[in-house]
């Protein structure tokens, strides 16, 4: 009987350890998506949320969470993040491929995460060299 209890306790411990190792938590990110006055946007606005991981993080590829909006304006999204800061990129996805391409307006902002919230974020879509082409 003692062996059965030990097995149950070991399984529970493993489950708690596996679940608690990632350090991720749900973060509410809110703000406003705007466009510069010279930019006309369509109805497919892709917004990506990335964890801003510390320099030198082992195997650090920031997780990406995506939402597609139909228009400019206020947004609120809950994403699973680990870091203390979120990087947000938005683009007017005219060609519908989900990637930043030449001629597509885009914007980027970073925000600190405090008490599982990053609020007051303002993203402005502008005509500029795409980050994917710039890197």
Digitized pLDDT (tens) for each residue of the chain, 135 residues in all = 444 444 444 444 444 444 444 578 999 999 999 999 999 999 999 999 998 877 655 555 566 899 999 999 999 999 999 889 999 999 999 999 988 888 899 999 999 999 999 999 999 999 998 866 554
pTM across the whole model: 0.76
108 is a domain residue = yes
Reported residue count of the chain is 135
SS3 101: coil
Distance between CA atoms of residues 135 and 115, nearest Å: 32
Two structure tokens written together for 67: 């939402």
What does each C-alpha distance from 122 to 59, 72, 75, 94 come to in angstroms?
Answer: 30, 11, 10, 21
68 is a domain residue = yes
We report the CATH number of the domain holding residue 55 as: 2.60.40.1120
13 is a domain residue = no
Residue labelled with tokens 């609120």: 76
37 is a domain residue = yes
16 is a domain residue = no
User: Domain span at residue 59?
Assistant: 24-134
Query: What is the number of domains present in the chain?
Result: 1
């Amino acid at each position: 009987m003692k062996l059965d209890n030990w097995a149950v306790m070991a399984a529970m411990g493993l489950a708690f350890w596996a679940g608690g190792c990632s350090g991720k938590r749900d973060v509410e990110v809110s703000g406003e998506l705007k466009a510069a006055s010279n930019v006309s946007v369509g109805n497919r606005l892709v917004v990506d949320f990335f964890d801003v991981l510390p320099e030198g993080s082992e195997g650090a590829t920031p997780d990406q969470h995506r939402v597609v909006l139909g228009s400019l304006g206020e947004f609120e999204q809950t994403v699973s993040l680990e870091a203390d800061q979120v990087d947000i990129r938005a683009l007017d996805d005219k060609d519908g491929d989900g990637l930043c391409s030449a001629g597509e307006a885009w914007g980027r902002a970073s925000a600190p995460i405090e008490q599982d919230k990053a609020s007051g974020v303002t993203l402005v879509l502008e005509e500029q060299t795409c980050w994917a082409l710039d890197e």
